[in-house]
Chains A and B, each alone.
Chain A
């Protein structure tokens, strides 16, 4: 129930506090998966706020997939690699995304490296 609320929230802090409530609820219910995934979401939003400052671009509200895509699009390879690890994105998922972006950017040399 806190999750829908977090989406109705009007500001980032409000959203974070709703999500924090959800984490506590999941913890109480011993629902480890949902707890972890909600914590990841909090981490993601904070992360995105920082990225917005750094790149003067919109990040908050994007999915992990879209955020990573944006980083790759800007050729932020190292950041992307870290980001992938932080959110436990699967290797295949990352690989598909990277190939897609590289092909779009026509970075054939980078593609060759796979």
Chain B
């Protein structure tokens, strides 16, 4: 799917800002530098600046908190910790620095602890409690204000690891603070967003913070014409349903099968023979690492073909591939028919484009082939059928035989839980005896230690027993399930899940048209508070409506309604795809952008809530 050009906002421009913020933070520390990384930040930050860029900024050595020891040879002036403000990280810093306490102070570098994205006094105190010497060792605590990282022109993510667990299980509000900063950054560039809507407990908290921030800010700072009309904030617990069924888009399936991190998927390199040298890292083969070599494939809109197929239902991808292959064949065939020099010249000019298309066609067809074994096995199909059954409204408040079977066969834990949560959500909660049956069954198969994981999931709201049947009403009012005979033919977003239209996306769409007022009864029954707020905007900065603006080419056409959808606790690739489908529909002029705490899949969510126990063998 190609992005249309009315898209005036490009989140990728935030990358440059984030990069500047990061480099400034490094430059502000004197002399040559050693960076000590919070391991989790390496991935997101490498998107902003790679090692050679860091070297240009006098970074001479790098360490990681998890794997490195405090260096004995300190041939640098500054030591910079780039870390998230989390207590577990603070403990690691304390451990890392404990060796420095015995070193003569004169031989130590200047130590800076830079919290991303903001200083945390709690963490500062905690560090000194963990290691009293740190009070003398650390030269300064600073903030490294890198907030959200753009993953795509229309998607920004805090890349906040396990944000769902942090918020809903541990009740740690730090990701709300980070979101407030990110929303403020967006408003600084694209103007104050006038209409704010929210659904869910944490949406309310975030909106309060955003509105308060807006009021506190000096007026001059916000002197920018508004580009966004709506800010819609959704708490992930309002729509747990959508995360549970298997994502069926091309990109979503890549995530389900292999996991996507920072728009990159790693696949076994031997499946990609003769394809560039990027995977052939000489260091790797020489040092004889045990890991099989991996090929990194970048998944973003810089690739034309991927942009076209990422949001499609997997079943619709095949025809695109064969169409492209035919196109390539015909175009490459032209070299034989070209007789005139001018014709040949034209052909040669097109060559690079054709060759790069050929290259990406091979890559993405290979990826599709790697996905095939997952989707073509009986288990997958059967599971899909059960998911569709739940979503289409088959009565299912009893113990489901297929789920029982999965447990009895000790199939992957996350697969089982996803189905149970789905069943629970579409029923507005499970009956107590049904839930108890599942839990006992799970413990029999996966072991007693899973009791802690199960309790975590209950606490985080994944299992509900309260019986409020709202899904049926939502399904009817919002057309959440549409039968399709052919999944590729439909333009409705429900085709993404072969029938199911994501709840969060339908809510976002209804906000723009025909408006939430039309579904106010439904919004009352869907769990989670409903919030509406306005931010005041001076007359001259408002978006002009109902007037023919000269900049709009087709006369009389209203400017598109632009909305920023914020997911607290994570968003799936399939939901992003569904929002993109809406943005690209010809008749509705609404455009959606996404800000999320992280990219999420049902499996990743459940893994984050699992507790791993050290089991001792006697």
Contacts and interface: CB of A to CB of B under 8 A. Distances in A.
26 contacts: A3-B452, A7-B613, A7-B614, A7-B615, A10-B616, A10-B618, A11-B618, A12-B618, A33-B436, A33-B439, A34-B451, A63-B444, A63-B445, A63-B446, A64-B445, A65-B408, A90-B399, A90-B404, A90-B441, A92-B404, A93-B404, A93-B407, A93-B441, A95-B408, A96-B408, A96-B409
B410 interface: yes
A4 B446 contact: no
B611 interface: yes
Contacts of A61: 615, 617-618
Given A93-B444, A96-B409, A37 B451 contact: yes
Interface string B397-417: 001010011011110000000
Given A12-B618, A96-B405, A96-B408, A38 B451 contact: yes
B465 to A, nearest CB: 11
Interface in A30-85: 33-34, 37-38, 41, 44, 60-61, 63-65
Contacts of B614: 7-8
A92 B398 CA distance: 14
A90 B437 contact: yes
Contacts of B352: none
A105 interface: no
A103 interface: no
Nearest to B404: A92
Of B401, B448, B451, B455, most A-chain CB atoms within 10 Å = B448
A93 B444 CA distance: 9
Interface string A90-108: 1011011100100000000
Interface string B430-463: 0000001101110111111101100100000000
B304 to A, nearest CB: 49
B interface, by DSSP: helix, strand, loop or mixed? helix
B505 to A, nearest CB: 36
A111 interface: no
Contacts of B404: 90, 92-93
Given A41-B448, A65-B445, A93-B408, A60 B618 contact: yes
The 4 lowest CB-CB distance pairs between A and B, nearest first, are: A96-B408, A64-B444, A7-B613, A93-B408
Nearest to A19: B448
Contacts of B437: 90
Interface in B563-618: 611, 613-618
Contacts of A3: 449, 451-452, 613
A92 B400 CA distance: 11
Contacts of A8: 614, 616
A43 B444 CA distance: 13
B440 A88 contact: yes
Interface residues on B, range: 20 to 34
Contacts of B616: 7-10
Interface string B229-254: 00000000000000000000000000
A96 to B, nearest CB: 4
Looking at chain A's contact residues, is the secondary structure mostly helix, strand, loop, or mixed? helix
Contacts of A34: 451, 455
A11 B617 CA distance: 9
A64 to B, nearest CB: 4
B526 to A, nearest CB: 28
B445 to A, nearest CB: 5
Contacts of B436: 33
A12 B404 CA distance: 31
A92 B401 contact: yes
Interface of A: 3-4, 7-12, 33-34, 37-38, 41, 44, 60-61, 63-65, 87-90, 92-93, 95-97, 100
Given A33-B439, A92-B404, A93-B404, A63 B448 contact: yes
A66 to B, nearest CB: 9
Nearest to A65: B445
Given A88-B440, A90-B437, A63 B618 contact: no
A93 B446 CA distance: 13
A63 B447 contact: yes
Given A7-B616, A33-B436, A96-B405, 15 more contacts: A3-B451, A4-B452, A4-B613, A7-B449, A7-B615, A10-B616, A34-B451, A37-B439, A60-B618, A65-B408, A87-B444, A90-B399, A90-B441, A92-B401, A93-B445
A88 B439 CA distance: 12
A34 B251 CA distance: 40
Nearest to A91: B404
Find the residue from A41, A60, A63, A89 having the highest chain B CB count within 10 A: A63
Interface in B468-494: none
Contacts of A7: 449, 613-616
A37 B618 CA distance: 22
Contacts of A63: 443-448
A74 to B, nearest CB: 19
A41 B613 CA distance: 16
Contact of A64 (B443, B455, B617): B443
A23 B174 CA distance: 34
Nearest to A67: B444
Given A37-B451, A87-B444, A92 B408 contact: yes
Given A92-B405, A96-B409, A37 B440 contact: yes
Q: Interface centre among B405, B408, B449, B611, by most A CB within 10 Å?
A: B408
A55 B447 CA distance: 22
A10, A60, A88, most chain B CB atoms within 10 A: A88
A61 B618 CA distance: 9
Contacts of A100: 409
Nearest to B449: A7
Most central of B401, B441, B455, B611 by chain A CB within 10 Å: B441
A33 B615 CA distance: 23
B561 to A, nearest CB: 48
Contacts of B452: 3-4
Contacts of B405: 92, 96
B386 to A, nearest CB: 15
B399 to A, nearest CB: 8
